[in-house]
Structure 1
Amino acid sequence: MKTVLIVDPFSTGKLYAPLLNARGVECVAVISTPQLPEHFTRDLIAENFRDVFAWEKNLLNTLKTFAPIAVIAGCETAIYLTDYLTEKLGIRGNSPNTSELRRNKFCMQLALKQQGLANIASQPLGSPERIAEVVASLDESSTYVVKPLNSAATEGVVFAQGGNEVEAALKNAAWQQTNDLGELNLGFIVQPFIAGPEYVVDMVAFAGTYIVASVCKYTKIARNGSMFVYDRLDTLDPNAESLKPLLEYARQAAAALRIEIGPIHMEIIWAEDGPVMIEAGSRLHGGIAPLLFQQTYAPDLLSLAMESYLGNAGPSAGTVSQINHGRIGFFSSDQQRTFQAPSSQVIQSVMEDEAYCGHRYFIEPGQTTPVTIDFATCPGLFWIRHSSPQQLEISSANLRKKLWPNAKP
Structure 2
Amino acid sequence: MTVVKTVLIVDPFSTGKLYAPLLNAQGIRCIAVISTRDLPEHFTQDLIADNFDQVYHWEESLLITLETLSLSAVIAGCETAIYLTDYLTELLDIPGNSRITSDLRRNKFSMQQALKHHQLSHIASHLLSSPSRIGEVVAKLDESATYVVKPLNSAATEGVVFAQGKREVETALKNAAWQQKNDLGEVNLGFIVQSFIAGPEYVVDMVAFGSTYIVASVCKYTKIQKNGSMFVYESLDTLDPQAPELQPLTDYARQAAAALGVRVGPIHMEIIWSDAGPVMIEAGGRLHGGIAPLLFQQVYLPDLLSLSIDSYLGHPRPQAAAASQISHGRIGFFCSDESRTFEPPSPQALQSAQADEAYCGHRYFMRAGDTTPVTIDFATCPGLFWLQSPSAQQLDVSTANLRKKLWA
The normalised TM-score by structure 1 is 0.98
Instruction: Give 1:197 deviation, angstroms.
Output: 0.3
Between the aligned partners of 2:43 and 2:386, the Cα distance in structure 1 is 22
Q: 1:99 aligns with which of 91, 102, 110?
A: 102
- The match for 1:309 among 312, 319, 344 is 312
Equivalent of 1:131, from 119, 122, 134? 134
Amino acid at match of 1:124: L
Counterparts of 2:211 and 2:7, CA distance in 1: 21
Check if 1:273 corresponds to 2:276: yes
Q: What letter is aligned with 2:234? A: D
User: What is the CA distance between 1:389 and its match in structure 2?
Assistant: 1.1
Q: 1:318-350: CA deviations, max 9, x gaps?
A: 451101111000001111111111122211111
Aligned partner of residue 101 in structure 1, secondary structure:
helix
The correspondence for 1:401, drawn from 400, 404, 407, is 404
User: Does residue 162 of structure 1 match 2:170?
Assistant: no
How far off its partner does 1:316 sit?
Answer: 1.7
- For the pair 1:115 / 2:115, whether they are aligned, the reply is no
Q: Does 1:253 align with 2:217?
A: no
Cα offset, 1:163, TM superposition? 0.3
Of the structure 1 ranges 272-281 and 341-350, higher mean CA displacement relative to structure 2 is found in: 341-350
Instruction: In structure 1, give the amino acid aligned to 2:320.
Output: A
Alignment pair present for 1:178 and 2:181: yes
Q: Secondary structure at the match of 2:298?
A: coil
One-letter amino acid of the counterpart of residue 113, structure 2: L
Give the Cα separation in 1 of the matches to 2:92 and 2:346: 52
Distance (Å, rounded) in 1 between the aligned partners of 2:350 and 2:335: 19
One-letter amino acid matched to 2:11: D
**Alignment length (residue pairs):** 405
CA distance in 2, matches of 1:244, 1:315: 18
* Corresponding position of 2:351: 348
Tell whether the 8 Å contact from 2:241 to 2:322 is kept in structure 1 after alignment: no
Q: 1:121-178 deviations in whole A, cap 9, x for unaligned?
A: 1000000000000000111100000000000100000000000000000000000000
C-alpha distance in 2 between matches for 1:269 and 1:161: 19
User: What amino acid does structure 2 have at the position aligned with 1:9?
Assistant: P
Q: Distance in 2 between matches of 1:176 and 1:304?
A: 37
Aligned-pair identity (%) = 74
Q: Secondary structure at the match of 2:395?
A: helix
User: What value does the CA root-mean-square deviation take over the aligned residues?
Assistant: 0.6
Alignment of 1:43-54 (within 5 A): 43-54=46-57
Aligned to 1:371: 374
In the other structure, the counterpart of 2:244 is: 241
**Secondary structure in 2 aligned to 1:295?**
helix
SS of the aligned residue for 2:294 comes to helix
Partners of 2:22 and 2:242 in 1: how far apart?
Answer: 27
Show structure 1 runs of 5+ residues with no match. none
Displacement of 1:210 in angstroms is: 0.1
Q: Deviations 1:238-262 (Å, cap 9, x if unpaired)?
A: 0101000000000000000000000
Amino acid at match of 1:107: S
Q: Which residue of 1 aligns with 2:22?
A: 19
Structure 1 residue 285 corresponds to structure 2 residue 265:
no
Deviation string 1:38-57 (CA, Å, 9 cap, x unpaired) is 11000000000000000000
Deviation of the 1:65 alpha carbon: 1.2
> Is the contact between residue 152 and residue 192 of structure 2 (CA under 8 Å) also seen in structure 1?
yes
Q: Are residue 325 (structure 1) and residue 325 (structure 2) matched? A: no
- In the other structure, the counterpart of 2:338 is 335
Aligned-partner Cα distance in 1 for 2:176–2:319: 46
Gaps of 5+ in 2: none
Deviations 1:272-296, CA, capped at 9 Å, x for gaps: 0100000000100000000110011
What's the CA shift for 1:223? 1.6
The 3-state SS of whatever aligns with 1:307 is: helix
Looking at structure 2, the residues matched to 99 and 237 of structure 1 have their Cα atoms a distance apart, in angstroms, of 30
Query: Aligned-pair distance for 1:317?
Result: 2.9
Q: Which stretch of the first structure deviates more once superposed, 311-320 or 39-48? A: 311-320
2:360 match: 357
Distance 2:286 2:355 in 1: 34
Moved over 4 A (4+): none
- Give 1:373 deviation, angstroms: 1.3
Secondary structure of 2:172's aligned partner: helix
Task: Indicate if the aligned counterparts of 2:216 and 2:322 stay in contact, CA closer than 8 A.
Answer: no
Q: Which amino acid aligns with 1:266?
A: M
Aligned to 1:199: 202
